Structure 1
Amino acid sequence: MTKNNEFIRIPHNAYIIVGDGRKALFLRNEGNQTTPRLKTEQVLRNDNPPTREQGSDQPGRSFASVGARRSAMEQTDWQEIGEQRFARTIADALEGLARDRDIPGFVIAAPPRTLAELRRLLDTNVKVRIIAEIDKDLTGHPVEDIERRLSAA
């Protein structure tokens, strides 16, 4: 994989996926390898409120089979579960693109946790087409800024 400080050559019609646990942008390079010109093809959103807004009950307690010892169970992180499900949605969309279109490659930009989850979920047909992985959250950046970052990467 290409590291953050190396120059990334993004072929014409390659897809750049910029995502995190809440939003994913599917951008297609209409430019050339040295001067990307990105066009938004699809935006996926995950309506995933914080855990405090999703879970209303207190964490459960367990009782020892012998004696009177009790322990608290860890509270479920509903937001993290929602982000993992969203990573599956992104992976499914990438698999569909790889299967249905002749795409020369993918560049994936995501925070480290999301990137790791995507690596775990991606099909081999997608993995072999990955040109570069960028472990940065660029989701909130305008497309022009993403273009600049990729051409300077």
Structure 2
Amino acid sequence: MLIPHAAVIAIVDGKAWELYRNVGTEAVPELATLETPSLVEQNHSSGGSHASPHQQEESAHCTAVADWLNRQVQSHKIEHLILIAPPRALGELRHQFGKATQQAMIKELAKDLIGRQPDDILAALRG
């Protein structure tokens, strides 16, 4: 897969997230770690929710990540976005993305790559 220069790679799971930017070329990508902003995670579930506390926390985290990414795309700070997340988190995030973020998305990968090295991330994107 070709990764456009300056594309942002967001790696998310139910508790944590990491951001990278391609500072290399499209054909020879090089991922630089970006500072991951702190998020305000709010649990908006109702008292009658059937989700476990863990699922509610995961949902709140994904909502906060999606909100941040939506704002970055809307303010033109992210033009191309690649999202890597386990299937459950990926589904949560998809529900929260605005139209502009969906259009900025050039690839989704259903894997848990939190804590992996940039070379491992690039290998997973190529595979």
| Range of TM-score over shorter length | 0.7 to 0.9
TM-score by length of 1: 0.70
Give yes or no for contact 2:4–2:25 (8 Å, CA) kept in 1: yes
Which 10-residue stretch deviates more, 12-21 or 91-100?
91-100
Find the partner of 2:72 among 97, 100, 104. Answer: 97
Which one scores higher on RCO, CA 8 angstroms, separation ≥ 6? Answer: 1
Give yes or no for contact 1:23–1:43 (8 Å, CA) kept in 2: no
Cα distance change on mapping 1:18 and 1:11 into 2, 3 Å: same
Number of paired residues? 119
Taking the TM superposition and a 5 Å limit, the aligned residue runs for 1:30-109 are 30-43=23-36, 77-109=52-84
User: What's the CA shift string for 1:60-91, capped at 9, x where partnerless?
Assistant: xxxxxxxxxxxxxx975111100000001110
The Cα of 1:149 is off from its aligned counterpart by 2.6
Give yes or no for contact 2:85–2:109 (8 Å, CA) kept in 1: yes
Q: Which residue of 2 is the match for residue 112 of structure 1?
A: 87
Find the partner of 1:11 among 4, 11, 17. Answer: 4
SS of 2:36's equivalent?
strand
> 2:90, 2:60 → 1: CA distance?
13
Q: Give, as a single letter, the amino acid of the residue that structure 2 aligns with 1:79.
A: H
Q: Does 1:144 align with 2:113?
A: no
Q: Which residue of 1 is the match for residue 44 of structure 2?
A: none
Give yes or no for contact 1:29–1:36 (8 Å, CA) kept in 2: yes
Q: What percentage of residue pairs aligned between the two structures are identical?
A: 30
Runs (4 or more) in structure 1 with deviation over 6 Å come to none
> 1:87, 1:34 → 2: CA distance?
31
Unaligned runs of 5+ in 1: 1-7, 47-73
Cα RMSD for the two superposed structures: 2.2
Unaligned runs of 5+ in 2: 40-48
Structure label with greater radius of gyration:
1
Q: Which residue of 2 is the match for residue 129 of structure 1?
A: 104
The Cα of 1:16 is off from its aligned counterpart by 0.5
